[in-house]
Structure 1
Amino acid sequence: MKKSKSLLLIIALVLVIGTVLAGCGNNTNSANNGNKGNTANTGNTAGDEKLAADQTLRLNMSADVPTFDPGQAQDSQAHVALKLMYEGLVRVDKDGKEAPGVAEKWEVSPDGLVYTFHLRESKWSNGDAVTANDFVFAWKRVLDPATVPAPPYAQQLYYLKNAEQFNKGEIKDFAEVGVKAQDDRTLVVTLKNPTAYFLNLMDFYTFYPVHKSVEGNDKWATEVKTMITNGPFNLTSWITGQSVEYTKNDTYWDKDNVKLTKITSTIVNEASTEVLSYKNGEIDRAGAPNGDIPPDQIPVLKTELPDDFTLKPVASIYYYEFNTLVEPFDNANIRKAFAMSISRQDIVDKVTLASQVPAFGYIPPGIKGSTDAADYRSEYKDDYFTEDYAEAKKLLELGMKEKGYTTLPPVTLIYNTSEGHKKIALAIADMWKNNLGVEVKTENQEWGVFIKNRQNGDYQVARAGWNPDYNDPMTFMDMWKKGNGNNDIKLDNPEYDKLLDEAFSEVDNAKRMANFRKAEEILVKNEMGIMPIYYYTNVSLVKPYLKGVSVGYDGAVDYSKVYLLEH
């Protein structure tokens, strides 16, 4: 899903991480990424409790949203915002189950290739009807090779028949792609292969509809007045680096079940300031996926605010990326040496302090395996490498010999601005110095700059996190295929790509899982393009009067059904 901003912060084991970070990557500022929140029904009262007169939810975002364009988004900050502003064909609940969204019902052909979605009567925020053609327009925009910049998640639409060929310019006529508006209220989607999790994908922002007014306006997603949306809230104010405000969308089809009238958020990337604001009653919720909580405050907060504190495993992973195209990490033995020379248990016990689980693989617990009831990580252990400082030194020496080095080139580790990320970076740099004899410079960067540098390959080692876009191992694995917009490590392994292509078209789920196992071994054991650190937990503080917060298996939070009680 999405790159996570928070130590995955944004969602990461993030909730187990369940994708994801933000994809989209994961991508949030929290090193702990814990986030549970209270769940409740959306009625007007809970027992004798009454709704507060002022239904304004107050939050903090640890960074600006890099883009409000669903076609360009790829991180968890954008995920939180777009989930408020848009709605896809399907909505996915906290348990990962699909429910009607813009589509009120659908049918699937016996061969699993054709989905016919019947759209409900719904409107854009300007009063225009949302039609099947709005989905066709949005999906074409993502796949069109002429779209600039190239949408990073175009490959997410490759499930559609001929989508890949159109995106690569091999087919010129979009009419050959498997999406058609049969009429204004009927959308017919034809897949390349049967895909069990396709409905789940329909809640992902790359598949959201986009109003046709954006055509020819490159700046539409940078100005509040030109953002026409179809979700429960409209973006009504945005002051870069300071604040955002969302107001209830009165044209939303399910507006009667939206109790909040407004959501306001400061933009402060200091986790300690966020917690202080929470304690002072200035915000109603703190922590992942949109904010952060300092790791060293977690033990105190557990005791000090037991009714507010929540910690939950999520299907996300916190890791470091090696740029495999730049020195010295264009050598696999050097990458392995760095990965084997840290103590993950010390990091989670002494630095992050949120009960995370050390990671020796890439796919986290909480992701489905060979059956809906199975867990991939339980079926296939993460035993791809061990922490062995003596062996790491030997591998470093071997790698340096292979590269012809007498001394290792200077190394810089970058991370996005966050107290948690900084502490982890300093701890790991110290371990590399003590256990490997390597000096590493650490450098923090603002979220938007950090993401661009990773995408452009302007880094050597970088913090990263990933939370799932849907509940299947593919959401973690396909990002490392050659040409994928999220392949920041620049991995180019034909065998890896072949295994994923086979898993993509394979109907037998047990065979798919076996392919993922082999691919994960290539990624983590053979290539060591990424350095797994830990599987996320989500940490948050939630006021007892805040109800209806829904946090999914992936750590993603849905504020659309939230309400506040009198207090």
Structure 2
Amino acid sequence: MTDQFPRKKKLHILHKTANFPCMCKALLISIVIPTFAIVLSACKGDSPIDRYTQKKILVLGNSAEPQGLDPQIVTGVPENNIIRSIFEGLCVEHPSKEGVHMPGAAASWDSSDDFTEWTFHLQPNGQWSDGTPLTADDFLFSFQRMLHPNFGAEYASMLYYIEGAEAYNKGQAEDFSHVGVSAPDPYTLNIRLKAPTPFLPELTKHYSWFPVPKHIILKHGTIDQRNTPWTEPEHIASNGAFTLKTWRFNDYIAVEKNPRYWDHATVKLNGIRFLPISNQYTEARMFFNQQLHTTYSLAPEMIEYASNQYQPYLRQETYLGTSFIRFNVTDPKLMDLKVRQALALSIDSQAIIDHVLKGGQTPAYGIVPPTADYHTPKVVTFDPERARKLLAEAGYGNSKKLRLTLLSTDKEVSKRISEAYQDMWKKHLGAEVSIEQREWKTYLARMAELDYQLVISGWIGDYPDPTTFLEMWKKGDGNNRTGWSNEAYEALLAQAEQIKDPAQRLRTLEKAEALFLSEMPIIPIYWYTSNYLLHTSVKGWHPLLLNNHPYKFVDLVQPTQP
């Protein structure tokens, strides 16, 4: 999922670097800390959060106004946070254990020995929020809509694990009956995969696999029609623990407990409010003013302060994500690999972490975060001397300046990171890079249309496997957004699909990543951390690698003073 914000478990990094442009710490502390002290002293007693807690309504900071609420159109983290509350896939996350699959729309499931054929048995009492039964036919309709060539779902490739799905999506096969999904009865869903996929239950937790209401969508348009009014509060029907109640643009989105949800008795909250707060400092002030239960993120300067003064509120957790810069390789200047390499080699990721982010991130030398089993190829380094030589070989120097534009979102931290890149490229290469900041929807649209030269990007894993970071770089993938493709790269991914030995499969994926990095359609910058504030009244909220907290298990109790 697309994201742009710094996160992950705090590491004690001792690396020292030269002075770096950043906000004056003394000035920040002189302004912010007294303000927080006043706010905290004033929030004793019956605060907004006390009242929301009594009503069991969770209030969340959610970074940006969502692109939409159609699970088959959106691609971002803010949208995911809302959609997971009102829709549900075949399986759901365990509230505290990684890799444990719990019943969702499916009561149970089983597979063949080689993990290519799966059967999901749906909840017998599953239904949409308007009372219409939820059946296997809804899943067939959803898969067909997601893969329909005319629909143009950017996440369609998430379903390419299904036999025949890619051919249908690319218009190479017109009959959807050739796609490996079927429904022998209303409450049984069969899925036939093109290769062994033992992690299919994990995939079904992603919103690209969620069911959408056939009877509502067809009431407002055709199967391949985008952006119809079916997701508006007065029209929508959903199958999750909550239903959409109110959507006030640039104010909040409110969902309420779904009385028709199959596991209604487990749900403890009566509702959730998602607030599109783009400014991290505003969000922090609202939290300390007892107006939020949790923030989306935490401004870098606030991390140390919160750690020292309000430790019970601070959360610093592992997060499966990578920050990087995309190149538009169709741009005349960036078609040259040497230019891309020069720009990459002149970025000092450790300096950015130490002086701008301050959240314990780790410098990234690849796109896939390393694990004990997966060894990320170490291709990208900081080497300004080599960068200057490469840029000179590409024909740039004092007599011919390299001039580019960097696109980012309109977040304050994005501005400071952009300025850091700008300064490094100026210092090490003499390159002149201008900065364009755009709000979330415009930023996504311009990236999708390749209307940029350089763009600050981020990717959060959709499931815990290297392919969640590698598959999207295939030709035509809706999340590629670079103009780059390579047949040898795709051949390695296809080869890895058929390998049954886990270690051998990972070695093949490592070769694919090494090839990808050697052509450098992106610059890996750092691996994410999750730094945020969580009110002590929130219970049942545990660290999770993908940060997809299942709201049905969350509860609110009267807060206690830390």
Aligned to 1:270: 279
* Cα displacement (A) at 1:14: 8.7
Q: Say if 1:72 and 1:152, in contact at 8 Å, map to a contact too.
A: yes
2:367 aligned with 1:385, yes or no? no
* Aligned CA distance change for structure 1 residues 260 and 318 (closer, same or farther; 3 Å): same
In 2: Cα distance, 1:442 partner to 1:338 partner: 15
2:252 aligned with 1:243, yes or no? yes
Aligned to 2:110: 107
Q: Say if 2:317 and 2:543, in contact at 8 Å, map to a contact too.
A: no
In 2: Cα distance, 1:556 partner to 1:389 partner: 38
2:217 aligned with 1:225, yes or no? no
* Cα displacement (A) at 1:116: 1.0
Corresponding letter in the other structure for 2:119: T
In 1: Cα distance, 2:301 partner to 2:445 partner: 30
* Cα displacement (A) at 1:204: 0.8
Aligned to 1:204: 206
TM-score normalised to structure 2 length: 0.87
* Aligned CA distance change for structure 1 residues 237 and 530 (closer, same or farther; 3 Å): same
Aligned to 1:453: 446
Report which stretch shifted further, 557-566 or 462-471. 557-566
In 1: Cα distance, 2:133 partner to 2:3 partner: 34
Q: 1:532 aligns with which of 510, 524, 538?
A: 524
Aligned to 1:144: 148
In 1: Cα distance, 2:262 partner to 2:521 partner: 45
Q: Secondary structure at the match of 2:275?
A: strand
Q: Say if 1:467 and 1:555, in contact at 8 Å, map to a contact too.
A: no
Q: Say if 1:14 and 1:317, in contact at 8 Å, map to a contact too.
A: no
* Aligned CA distance change for structure 1 residues 64 and 5 (closer, same or farther; 3 Å): farther
2:451 aligned with 1:462, yes or no? no
Q: Say if 1:550 and 1:558, in contact at 8 Å, map to a contact too.
A: no
Q: Say if 1:70 and 1:206, in contact at 8 Å, map to a contact too.
A: yes
Q: Secondary structure at the match of 1:421?
A: helix
* Aligned CA distance change for structure 1 residues 408 and 505 (closer, same or farther; 3 Å): farther
In 2: Cα distance, 1:497 partner to 1:15 partner: 35
In 2: Cα distance, 1:507 partner to 1:104 partner: 28
Q: How does 1:215-364 map to 2 (within 5 A)?
A: 215=218, 216-217=220-221, 218-286=227-295, 291-364=296-369
TM-score normalised to structure 1 length: 0.87
In 2: Cα distance, 1:137 partner to 1:320 partner: 36
Q: Secondary structure at the match of 1:534?
A: strand
Corresponding letter in the other structure for 1:529: P
Aligned to 2:436: 443
* Cα displacement (A) at 1:56: 1.0
Q: How does 1:382-421 map to 2 (within 5 A)?
A: 382-400=377-395, 407-421=400-414
Deviations 1:530-561 (A, max 9, x none): 11111111001111111112442123333222
Q: How does 1:424-443 map to 2 (within 5 A)?
A: 424-443=417-436
Q: Secondary structure at the match of 1:135?
A: helix
Deviations 1:200-250 (A, max 9, x none): 101110110111120243423451112110001111111111211111111
Report which stretch shifted further, 311-320 or 213-222. 213-222
Would you identify which runs of 4 or more consecutive aligned residues in structure 1 move more than 3 Å?
12-16
In 2: Cα distance, 1:516 partner to 1:341 partner: 27
In 2: Cα distance, 1:356 partner to 1:333 partner: 28
2:473 aligned with 1:480, yes or no? yes
Q: Say if 1:193 and 1:505, in contact at 8 Å, map to a contact too.
A: yes
2:196 aligned with 1:186, yes or no? no
* Cα displacement (A) at 1:429: 0.8
* Aligned CA distance change for structure 1 residues 267 and 386 (closer, same or farther; 3 Å): closer
* Aligned CA distance change for structure 1 residues 236 and 463 (closer, same or farther; 3 Å): same
* Cα displacement (A) at 1:409: 4.9
In 2: Cα distance, 1:432 partner to 1:296 partner: 25
Aligned to 1:3: 2
Q: Say if 2:318 and 2:544, in contact at 8 Å, map to a contact too.
A: no
2:46 aligned with 1:54, yes or no? no
Aligned to 1:89: 90
Q: Say if 1:79 and 1:205, in contact at 8 Å, map to a contact too.
A: yes
Q: Secondary structure at the match of 1:285?
A: coil
Q: Say if 2:4 and 2:323, in contact at 8 Å, map to a contact too.
A: no
Report which stretch shifted further, 154-163 or 504-513. 504-513
Q: Say if 1:108 and 1:114, in contact at 8 Å, map to a contact too.
A: yes
Q: Say if 2:314 and 2:532, in contact at 8 Å, map to a contact too.
A: yes
Corresponding letter in the other structure for 1:360: Y
In 2: Cα distance, 1:63 partner to 1:14 partner: 23
In 2: Cα distance, 1:513 partner to 1:231 partner: 35
* Cα displacement (A) at 1:506: 2.3
Q: Secondary structure at the match of 1:506?
A: coil
In 2: Cα distance, 1:53 partner to 1:296 partner: 32
- Where does structure 2 lack aligned partners over 5 or more consecutive residues? 12-51, 222-226
Task: Determine which structure has more spread, i.e. the larger CA radius of gyration.
Answer: 2
Corresponding letter in the other structure for 1:128: T
Q: 2:536 aligns with which of 544, 555, 562?
A: 544
Q: Say if 1:56 and 1:263, in contact at 8 Å, map to a contact too.
A: yes
- Where does structure 1 lack aligned partners over 5 or more consecutive residues? 17-50, 367-373
In 2: Cα distance, 1:516 partner to 1:110 partner: 23
In 1: Cα distance, 2:10 partner to 2:255 partner: 25
Q: CA RMSD in A?
A: 1.9
Name the structure, 1 or 2, with higher relative contact order (CA <8 Å, separation 6+). 1
In 2: Cα distance, 1:15 partner to 1:480 partner: 30
Aligned to 1:493: 486
Q: Say if 2:136 and 2:189, in contact at 8 Å, map to a contact too.
A: yes
Q: Say if 1:14 and 1:315, in contact at 8 Å, map to a contact too.
A: no
Report which stretch shifted further, 161-170 or 131-140. 161-170
* Aligned CA distance change for structure 1 residues 310 and 450 (closer, same or farther; 3 Å): same
Aligned to 1:98: 101
* Aligned CA distance change for structure 1 residues 392 and 538 (closer, same or farther; 3 Å): same
In 2: Cα distance, 1:52 partner to 1:392 partner: 55
* Cα displacement (A) at 1:15: 10
Q: Figure out how many residues of one structure are paired with residues of the other and give that number.
A: 509
* Cα displacement (A) at 1:442: 1.2
In 1: Cα distance, 2:8 partner to 2:370 partner: 9
Q: Say if 1:126 and 1:228, in contact at 8 Å, map to a contact too.
A: yes
Q: Say if 1:166 and 1:173, in contact at 8 Å, map to a contact too.
A: yes
* Cα displacement (A) at 1:123: 1.1
In 2: Cα distance, 1:334 partner to 1:451 partner: 25
Q: Say if 1:85 and 1:230, in contact at 8 Å, map to a contact too.
A: yes
In 2: Cα distance, 1:444 partner to 1:285 partner: 26
Aligned to 2:516: 523
Q: Say if 1:244 and 1:266, in contact at 8 Å, map to a contact too.
A: yes
Q: Say if 1:320 and 1:463, in contact at 8 Å, map to a contact too.
A: yes
* Cα displacement (A) at 1:13: 4.2
Q: Say if 2:257 and 2:270, in contact at 8 Å, map to a contact too.
A: yes
Q: Say if 2:329 and 2:482, in contact at 8 Å, map to a contact too.
A: yes
In 2: Cα distance, 1:15 partner to 1:228 partner: 40
In 1: Cα distance, 2:276 partner to 2:376 partner: 39
In 1: Cα distance, 2:234 partner to 2:53 partner: 30
In 1: Cα distance, 2:395 partner to 2:8 partner: 35
2:123 aligned with 1:124, yes or no? no
* Cα displacement (A) at 1:365: 3.4
Q: Say if 1:359 and 1:382, in contact at 8 Å, map to a contact too.
A: no
In 1: Cα distance, 2:203 partner to 2:436 partner: 35
